[in-house]
Amino acid sequence: MSRWSVRVDPAWSVQAWRDAARLGLQHGVAPEHLDWLQEGHASLLDAPPLASLPPAESDGKTIPVPKSFVELASTCLCHSDPQRHALLYRMLWRIVHGERDLLTNPADPDVLRAMALGQAVRRDSHKMKAFVRFREVPGEDNAFIAWFEPEHHIVDRVAPFFARRFAGMRWAILTPTRSVRWDGQELAFGPGSKQADAPVEDAREELWRTYYANIFNPARLNTRMMQQEMPTRYWKHLPEASLLPTLVRDAGDRVQEMHDREAQAPQRRIPEQHIPLRGPATANGDSLDELRTAAAGCRRCPLWEPATQTVFGEGPRDAQVMFVGEQPGDSEDLSGHPFVGPAGQLLNRALQALGIDRSTLYLTNAVKHFRYERRGKKRIHSKPQVTHINACRPWLLAEIEQVSPKVIVCLGASAARAVFGPGFNLGRDRGRWHTLEDGTRGFATVHPSWVLRQPVGAAQEEAYRLLLGDLERLSTHAGNGRTE
């Protein structure tokens, strides 16, 4: 049996790999007789090129391949593993020679390997979306360049995300092996570049550092998790990274200071006069602003009294994705905005890791007042009761009606019960799609506060991965808040 050789060019091209694989299959070239050559390498065994075979006679039939394999192959091809072409060809060969359900066997070593490659590519893509930082090109108007060093061949895969997100800018992303430019109209790909071709720093970086230093919460510092989410290899791309050694070094002292400081007294009280409640029947059709104003005077349950203020939902009126939490915490109660405290920061980190833009989401809570117990000088979160959730539900329903999201993500059991009904069991139903009567789809996942309550270390990391894994479901939904 003769050996053949083939080169996929460019190495991540689905079309080029597919053409080669099709020719190999048509001529019955078994995987062990085909050398997949890497860039710059010749065939060790002097195998002639597969392309020298004549195109096989077509019987008009296409080779039927499951869609899931095509998707997996297009992701795996972006991996930098030199064995990926051969691996995928071997899998394809097995699929067309009787193992059609190959991908449903997660214990198969080829399937396992391909899944791992796919996951690594998706992770690298998320990192690129999160960590690319554009710098202004000096002397040019509205022109930006970013330098980035991905682990895999993901520039072509991720570039459309940046084109949609920064449609109105002229920009380029340079990497050591590939570059891409956007002129406001179309993407143009080119060869790799050098870091020296990208600008070094621009004025907005100081602003960004100031912002980062302000949102950094020393009490939540978990250097292992931080390095997992923001591995040190990406730090060179980030202006804020220069602050990290100092922030990390000083975290212990700052926590002690926070601990010693008295709990802040609420800064603003709800006015005493009774503002009539407009219930769901009258709220229908009202704008969100009117609802917000009405909810500010809500007295449907006793929680309003010790709370500083109503924390109503926030986000675009036409958001496609709505997140529902349980109730505001201490920081939210004081600031009047949802998800700004530690749980909100963890949520931000998860959204960023998944390339989801928080500003496209509508964030709200099942209960809109902070329920707490006072312990000494501290206000400790206390779970809302069913009566509080029920009393607040008209506001939530009115928000859902006004925003009319395509997808609702419930964080934690209280939110899930408020949205999907009292029979919802988070342990059993977590991460599963549900459809509401009006056709809106949704699912529930764990609450970020629950993640933060896990013991620091492996348990907390595992809990965070659970949250991330569930939120990944948004990627399969159109209009998911990702701008890809």
Binding site for ligand URA (CB under 6 A): 325-329, 332, 338-339, 341, 343-344, 365, 411, 449
CA distances from 252 to 57, 220, 344 (A): 72, 11, 22
- Choice between 118 and 328, CB closer to ligand URA: 328
Contacts of 58 (CB under 8 A, 6+ apart): none
What does R_g of the chain's alpha carbons equal in angstroms?
A: 27
Smallest distance, ligand URA to C-beta of residue 358, A: 13
Smallest distance, ligand URA to C-beta of residue 382, A: 13
Residue with tokens 């980035």: 148
- Choice between 173 and 324, CB closer to ligand URA: 324
CA angle 68, 70, 71 (to 5 degrees): 65
- Choice between 24 and 329, CB closer to ligand URA: 329
Nearest residue to ligand URA, scored by beta-carbon proximity: 325
Smallest distance, ligand URA to C-beta of residue 211, A: 20
- Choice between 117 and 334, CB closer to ligand URA: 334
Smallest distance, ligand URA to C-beta of residue 17, A: 46
Q: Six-digit token pair at 312?
A: 């109503």
Q: What are phi and psi of 123, to 5 degrees?
A: -65, -45
Smallest distance, ligand URA to C-beta of residue 444, A: 12
For residue 434, the surrounding DSSP H or E stretch is strand 434-435
Q: Which of 442, 472, 462, 465 is nearest to 355 (CA)?
A: 472
Give the span between the Cα atoms of 401 and 433, in whole angstroms. 20
- Choice between 389 and 474, CB closer to ligand URA: 389
Smallest distance, ligand URA to C-beta of residue 324, A: 8
DSSP state of 476: G
- Choice between 90 and 430, CB closer to ligand URA: 430
Smallest distance, ligand URA to C-beta of residue 341, A: 6
Smallest distance, ligand URA to C-beta of residue 377, A: 21
Give the span between the Cα atoms of 328 and 311, in whole angstroms. 7
- Choice between 76 and 307, CB closer to ligand URA: 307
DSSP secondary structure, 274-333, as one string: PPPP--HHHHTT--HHHHHHHHTT--SSGGGTTSS-----BS-TT-SEEEEES---HHHH
User: Do the Cβ atoms of 196 and 169 come closer than 8 Å?
Assistant: no
Evaluate the omega torsion of the peptide bond into residue 302 and state whether it is cis, within 30 degrees of 0. no
- Choice between 87 and 298, CB closer to ligand URA: 298
Give the span between the Cα atoms of 344 and 323, in whole angstroms. 11
Smallest distance, ligand URA to C-beta of residue 311, A: 6
- Choice between 325 and 355, CB closer to ligand URA: 325
DSSP secondary structure, 60-91, as one string: SPPPP--HHHHHHHHHHTTS--TTHHHHHHHH
DSSP state of 475: G
- Choice between 193 and 414, CB closer to ligand URA: 414
- Choice between 294 and 340, CB closer to ligand URA: 340
CA distances from 57 to 23, 53, 60, 61 (A): 10, 11, 9, 11
- Choice between 179 and 449, CB closer to ligand URA: 449
One-letter amino acid at 127 equals K
CA angle 324, 330, 331 (to 5 degrees): 80
One-letter amino acid at 462 equals E
User: Do the Cβ atoms of 191 and 180 come closer than 8 Å?
Assistant: no
Q: How many CB atoms lie within 10 A of CB 7?
A: 20
In 329-394, DSSP assigns E strands to 361-365, 372-375, 378-381
